[in-house]
């Protein structure tokens, strides 16, 4: 087995991995980015392709080049929710235009930019195991890093058929949902969140479809709920190229993804005679961000750390920021010679202070939804004011409305007042959870106490909704 030595090794060349590698390499830290796909296939990922815009991305790469090459539709002005029973639609305007990207070209550009920054990108490289020191990983009695005991020191891989060991001061896991690295590493003594199971994820499938005539909703992201507490989506890359897909949560009965999508496509006249250009499936997190994504010598980013909006599956901007912040801590670890959890911890805090608190609050609505009938949820959803839906499920993670809107909503939801009152109480719990995440500890020493407070609040949420515990 050959051995290669780098300061930082990043596993997985999606958004989080590419931004992590570009950040580290641009600061002169020797960096390898390991990608299992070939160079021709890299960048092709099952994704809805929708983002809010390049302004939320770290400026470590050429964002204007990224926009010009891959942002194919920059005039997304609204979300459109379809009632699957009545066919009625609810249009919810965005405060600022969103975008849909060509995900393949997007992936190619961020890899080009990582290489331009100085990253060694190794394609056709399948990572199979971690290299780790013996001993209990991570912390002493007060939660501080304790040197090299249990530290991740690299990975074992097969590169173009040849076994290769990559040694590193820091390994950044950007290997996607249910990462193999987390199965192989001994994380029992670290703060790293191991309370992870397949039921906290969803199975998704998407097709890129070319239609003959422009769709009339080319300025909208179209969502349609499914019976399995998932949704169908139709996101226009261009007026005639549509990303169409769906997903279901893995704690629900299995859905025939391909047939369900095709059945809905057949019901839509605009897709008559359409051509399927690409098909792909994936697993995505529909859970809160990992409580901690650090261990000695090791961090997880993007889907590998649950950095996805659990209600919509959107995760591109969060993954970019997480990769950037993790790499900043990796650079400090390399230059200081200390890759313990205390040194890496600020990465966790940055995530929670930014999108982590919102995603944790949004997960409360997933828990609430999983305890109720989808038809009733749709009735209530289509009666709620649009901006409140946007705030709760996207921008803020919580929502509020004035007295006039409350009265109008009450009139629209006759027959569902018990559910609406429960939703009102759930909203209060989501707000309290968001505040708790804003108080995420500044060091590992406060982690266990913080988690106990969070778990107590989650117990209240389970009791309120009647949902089975998710974690």
Which CATH number belongs to the domain containing residue 154 in this structure? 3.50.50.60
Picking from 285, 320, 342, the residue at the C-terminal end of a domain is 285
What's the structural domain count of the chain?
A: 3
Which range is least confidently modeled, 108-117, 143-152, 159-168, 405-414?
405-414
Q: What value does the mean pLDDT take over residues 290-311?
A: 96
154 and 255 within one domain: no
Q: How wide is the angle at C-alpha 313 spanned by C-alphas 309 and 315, nearest 5°? A: 65
Q: pTM value?
A: 0.89
116 and 145 within one domain: yes
**Is a pLDDT exceeding 60 seen at residue 153?**
yes
**At 217, which CATH number?**
3.30.9.10
| Cβ pair 394, 223 in contact under 8 A | no
139 and 87 within one domain: no
**Is a pLDDT exceeding 80 seen at residue 416?**
no
157 and 276 within one domain: no
CA–CA distance from 397 to each of 138, 377, 425 (Å)?
32, 18, 14
Is residue 12 assigned to a domain? Answer: yes
| Cβ pair 103, 45 in contact under 8 A | yes
End-to-end Cα distance, the chain? 40
Is residue 70 assigned to a domain? Answer: no
Is residue 87 assigned to a domain? Answer: yes
pLDDT attached to residue 417: 64
Strand-pair category, 162-173 with 298-300: parallel
- Cβ contacts of residue 241 below 8 Å, gap of 6+? 72, 208, 209, 210, 211, 277
Give residue-wise pLDDT tens across range 171-223: 999 999 989 999 999 999 899 999 999 889 988 999 999 999 999 999 999 99
Q: How far apart are CA 299 and CA 319, in angstroms?
A: 13
**Is a pLDDT exceeding 90 seen at residue 407?**
no
**Is the Cα torsion angle 384, 365, 447, 177 positive or negative in sign?**
negative
Q: What are the b/e assignments for 22-33, b being 16+ CB within 10 Å?
A: bbbbbbebbbbb
166 and 52 within one domain: yes
Picking from 354, 389, 411, the residue at the C-terminal end of a domain is 354
441 and 412 within one domain: yes
Q: How far apart are CA 193 and CA 295, in angstroms?
A: 9
Is residue 378 assigned to a domain? Answer: yes
R_g of the chain computed on alpha carbons: 22
Sole residue written with tokens 């005539």: 213
Is residue 149 assigned to a domain? Answer: yes
Q: How far apart are CA 43 and CA 162, in angstroms?
A: 23
Is residue 471 assigned to a domain? Answer: no
295 and 278 within one domain: no
193 and 126 within one domain: yes
Picking from 303, 334, 354, the residue at the C-terminal end of a domain is 354
Q: Quote the tokens at residue 439.
A: 């108080």
84 and 163 within one domain: no
Q: What value does the mean pLDDT take over residues 151-166?
A: 97
Q: How far apart are CA 434 and CA 427, in angstroms?
A: 11
Q: How many CA atoms lie within 13 A of 275 on its CB side?
A: 6
Q: How far apart are CA 349 and CA 366, in angstroms?
A: 24
Q: Quote the tokens at residue 300.
A: 């997880």
Sole residue written with tokens 């944790």: 360
Of 211, 270, 280, whose CA–CA distance to 247 is shortest? 280
Task: Give residue 139's pLDDT band: very low, low, confident or very high (50, 70, 90).
Answer: very low
256 and 188 within one domain: no
Q: Quote the tokens at residue 3.
A: 């051995």
Q: How far apart are CA 15 and CA 323, in angstroms?
A: 8
Question: Three-class SS of residue 109?
Answer: helix
240 and 208 within one domain: yes
Chain mean position to CA 454: 21
333 and 413 within one domain: no
| Cβ pair 153, 129 in contact under 8 A | no
Burial class (CB within 10 angstroms; exposed 0-12, middle 13-18, buried 19+) of 156: middle
- Cβ contacts of residue 68 below 8 Å, gap of 6+? none
Which range is least confidently modeled, 26-30, 54-58, 129-133, 329-333?
54-58
Average pLDDT, the chain: 88
Range of the domain at 217: 77-98+200-285
Q: Quote the tokens at residue 148.
A: 């090299």
Is residue 280 assigned to a domain? Answer: yes
Which range is least confidently modeled, 394-403, 416-425, 437-446?
394-403
Question: To the nearest whole percent, how much of the chain has pLDDT over 70?
Answer: 86
Is residue 349 assigned to a domain? Answer: yes
Q: How far apart are CA 346 and CA 442, in angstroms?
A: 7
**Is the Cα torsion angle 184, 188, 192, 195 positive or negative in sign?**
positive
Q: What is the DSSP string of 353-393?
A: IIIIHHHHHHHHHHHHHHTS-HHHHHHHHHHS-HHHHHIII
The phi-psi region of residue 138 (left if phi > 0; otherwise alpha if psi is between -120 and 50; otherwise beta) is left
Helix or strand holding residue 165 (H, E): strand 162-173
Give residue-wise pLDDT tens across range 364-380: 988 998 888 777 776 66
The phi-psi region of residue 450 (left if phi > 0; otherwise alpha if psi is between -120 and 50; otherwise beta) is alpha
Give residue-wise pLDDT tens across range 66-91: 999 999 999 999 999 888 877 888 88
């Amino acid at each position: 087995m050959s051995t290669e030595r780098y300061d930082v090794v990043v596993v997985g060349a999606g958004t989080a991995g590419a931004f992590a590698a570009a950040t580290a390499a641009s600061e002169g830290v020797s960096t390898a980015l390991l990608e299992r796909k070939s160079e021709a296939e890299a960048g092709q990922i099952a994704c809805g392709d929708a983002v809010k815009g390049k302004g939320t991305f770290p400026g470590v790469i050429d964002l204007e080049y990224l926009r010009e090459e891959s942002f194919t539709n920059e005039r997304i002005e609204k979300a459109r929710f379809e009632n699957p029973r009545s066919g009625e639609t609810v249009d919810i305007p965005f405060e600022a235009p969103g975008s849909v990207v060509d995900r393949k070209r997007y992936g190619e550009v961020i890899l080009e930019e990582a290489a331009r920054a100085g990253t060694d990108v190794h394609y056709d490289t399948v990572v199979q195991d971690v290299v780790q020191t013996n001993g209990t990983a991570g912390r002493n009695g007060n939660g501080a890093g304790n040197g090299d005991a249990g530290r991740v020191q690299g990975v074992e891989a097969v590169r173009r058929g040849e076994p290769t060991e990559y040694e590193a001061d820091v390994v950044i896991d950007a290997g996607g949902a249910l990462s193999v690295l987390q199965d192989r590493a001994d994380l029992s003594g670290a703060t790293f969140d191991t309370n992870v199971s397949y039921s906290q994820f969803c199975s998704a499938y998407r097709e890129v479809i070319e239609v003959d005539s422009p769709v009339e909703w080319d300025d909208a992201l179209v969502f349609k709920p499914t019976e399995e507490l998932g949704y169908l989506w139709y996101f226009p890359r261009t007026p005639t190229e549509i990303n169409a897909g769906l997903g279901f949560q893995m704690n629900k009965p299995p859905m025939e993804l391909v047939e369900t999508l095709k059945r809905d496509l057949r019901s839509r006249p605009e897709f008559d005679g359409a051509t399927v250009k690409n098909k792909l499936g994936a697993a995505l997190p529909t859970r809160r961000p990992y409580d901690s994504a650090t261990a000695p010598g090791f961090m997880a980013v993007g889907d590998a750390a649950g950095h996805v909006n659990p209600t919509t599956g959107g995760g591109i901007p969060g993954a970019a920021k997480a990769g950037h912040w993790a790499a900043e801590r990796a650079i400090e670890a390399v230059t200081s010679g200390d890759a313990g959890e205390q040194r890496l911890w600020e990465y966790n805090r940055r995530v929670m202070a930014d999108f982590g608190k919102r995603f944790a609050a949004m997960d409360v609505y997933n828990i609430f939804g999983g305890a109720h009938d989808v038809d009733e949820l749709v009735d209530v959803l289509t009666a709620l004011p649009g901006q409140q839906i946007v705030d709760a499920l996207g921008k803020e993670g919580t929502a509020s409305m004035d007295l006039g809107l409350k009265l109008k909503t009450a009139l629209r939801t006759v027959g569902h007042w018990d559910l609406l009152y429960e939703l009102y109480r759930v909203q209060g719990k989501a707000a309290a959870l968001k505040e708790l995440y804003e108080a995420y500890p500044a060091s590992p020493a406060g982690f266990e106490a913080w988690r106990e407070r969070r778990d107590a609040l989650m117990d209240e949420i389970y009791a309120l909704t009647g949902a089975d515990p998710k974690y």
